Amino acid sequence: MEATYQKRSRVIFHVDCNSFFASCEIARDSSLKGKAVVVAGDPKERKGVVLAANYIAKQRFGIYTTMPLWEAKKRCPQLVVLKPDFHLYRKISEKVFQFLATFTPVLERASIDEGYLDITDCYSLGSPLDIAEQIQKELLQTLHIPVSIGIAPNKFLAKMASNMKKPLGITVLRKRDVPKVLWPLPVQEMHGIGDKTAKKLNNIGIFTIGELAKAEKVTLQNLLGITGVRLKEWANGIDPRPVDPESGEKWKSIGSSTTLPRNVTEERILLEVLRDLAQSVSNRMKQKGVVSSTVQIMIRYSNFQTITRSKTWENPFQEAEEIFQRAVYLLKRHWNGNPVRLLGITAVDVFDKKEAVKQLDLFHFEEEAKKESLWNTIERLQQKFGNSIIQRGSELFRDKSGDNGKSL
């Protein structure tokens, strides 16, 4: 068995929980088995948006994520609609990864519902197929969570393999299979390529993974930078990235604090400091691609007494304005009015942005999309012309009145 593993070089699993949010709901309530189930922003509202759907809803009725709830109900009048319970999903996710860790410590969480395992040294547990079948069987029996597993010599191929058979699939994808299995597929079906990248590739005549694999390296680098080079390697079945057990643990919290040059009792000055701190925290969260639902502030008084206070909100956030407003709430609630020497803001228990579930009706969904576009435009202008190029009305008023915080 050991010789078989060595011949195959690395052996990587990608374990992907099938329709995870819906599966968690069915695991909690067995009466939902065999029914079409969706998780939606607000089941009571006609304007709700589908956030997740189980395979019965997907395959029998063509329901998909982001579909308006009224349309989903029209396609399936008996549809079971549930509000998201993110606490439940994270709790079950923890149990899934605790179970996977019993096979190998070389385990990397890719998101709340998927992860990579390097089982190269696990030959004493049986063949890769034996191990995959055991994982799949026990997760279904103990946690009632169906998973698909991709088996390959690297992470990219394992990820592509796990997508090929859902639900409850086990797929082996070897490097020698790439020309036959992957190359005929359109580029948008390749892991790592979104709609925008696919359009850029299409514009230069690259429509399939095979055409990407054969494209000139310089052409791709000019078009997509270093990402283009990496995508070409992946399209040829090459991915040297190790399974990194620490990748999911590196950013548990992101914070920023500042010691004030003097003791401050003016609320307006403290709010200005909070706004700067919120912007700093937001920038770092965006760089790491994470969000949070919990804000913590730290207040150190002139006598060096230090307090920390936090609050968790229902919806995850990342934007500076949202962080600022939550920090202001905490400051107004917990500051005792004494002189302040230090302020800090921390986004606690950050997690991958892909995990975020926001309970939005269709109207709010559209408003959020508009707001994100506006924030992106503002950020581009500020990066090019400086932060003062666009200001809120309240900021202009403070500037005119001479209170712009520069006295600090």
- Domains in the chain and their CATH numbers? 12-172 (3.30.70.270), 180-236 (1.10.150.20), 253-355 (3.30.1490.100)
Q: Which residues of the chain have pLDDT under 70?
A: 1-8, 41-47, 248-251, 354-408
Of the listed 114, 233, 322, 395, which one is catalytic?
114
- Of 92, 75, 68, nearest to 36 by C-alpha is 75
16 in a known ligand binding site? yes
Q: What digits encode the pLDDT tens for the residues 232-273?
A: 999 999 999 999 987 765 557 889 999 898 999 999 999 999
pLDDT score for 399: 43
Q: Write down the pLDDT at residue 329.
A: 96
Nearest 5 degrees, angle CA 258-CA 263-CA 268? 75
Question: What pLDDT, on a 0 to 100 scale, did the predictor assign at position 44?
Answer: 60
pLDDT at 388: 57
Give the C-alpha separation, 117 to 107, whole Å: 5
Task: Examine the residue annotation and report whether 379 is marked as an active-site residue of this protein.
Answer: no
Q: Which helix (H) or strand (E) holds 139?
A: helix 128-142
130 vs 200: CA distance, rounded Å: 42
Give the pLDDT score at 374. 60
113 is in an annotated binding site: yes
Tokens of 190: 């390749």
Q: What is the pLDDT of residue 361?
A: 39
Strands 253-264, 290-301: pairing is: unpaired
